[in-house]
C-alpha cells in the first residue's frame, strides 16, 4: 500500500522557520516528481514547490528565496525548508508524488501567527 506521510508542521511566529518532511512507503520515490502544495481555508490548493526526479526545482513566486525543496532518494523522503515565514503561508501543506500514478499525503497544518 502506497503512503505519503507529512510531518513537521506546527505553529510558528512570523519570521520563523519550519522544516516539513514527506516519507513514502510502499513505493520508491526516485522516479517521481515530488511536490509540496498548500491549501488555505477558502482557497484552492496551490503549488508551492516541485522537484523532478533529476533534481530540477520550481517554486511559486510567493515562496522564492524563502523555501527550499530537497529530496533524499536513499531515505525515500522529500523535505521543504521554510524560512522567513509569513502569516500568508498559513495553510495545510500536502506532499504529492507524480509519475505513472499520482499520490497525495493527508497534509500537515502550518500556522504562522504571533
The string of pLDDT tens digits covering residues 5-64 is: 999 999 999 999 999 999 999 989 999 999 999 999 999 999 999 999 999 999 999 999
Q: Pull the grid cell for residue 21.
A: 518532511
Q: Is 31 helix (H, G, I), strand (E, B) or coil?
A: helix
What is residue 1's predicted lDDT score, i.e. its pLDDT? 85
pLDDT single digits (tens) 62-106: 999 999 999 999 999 999 999 999 999 999 999 999 999 999 999
Closest CA to 90 of 56, 30, 55, 48: 48
Q: Is 87 helix (H, G, I), strand (E, B) or coil?
A: helix
Amino acid at each position: 500500500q502506497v503512503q505519503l506521510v507529512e510531518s513537521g508542521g506546527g505553529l510558528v511566529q512570523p519570521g520563523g522557520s519550519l522544516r516539513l518532511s514527506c516519507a513514502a512507503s510502499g513505493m520508491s520515490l526516485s522516479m517521481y516528481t515530488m511536490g509540496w502544495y498548500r491549501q488555505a481555508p477558502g482557497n484552492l490548493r496551490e503549488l508551492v514547490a516541485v522537484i523532478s526526479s533529476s533534481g530540477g526545482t520550481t517554486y511559486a513566486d510567493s515562496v522564492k528565496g524563502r523555501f527550499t525543496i530537497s529530496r533524499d532518494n536513499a531515505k525515500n523522503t522529500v523535505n521543504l525548508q521554510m524560512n522567513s515565514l509569513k502569516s500568508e503561508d498559513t495553510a495545510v501543506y500536502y506532499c504529492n508524488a507524480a509519475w505513472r500514478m499520482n499520490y497525495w499525503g493527508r497534509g500537515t497544518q502550518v500556522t504562522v501567527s504571533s
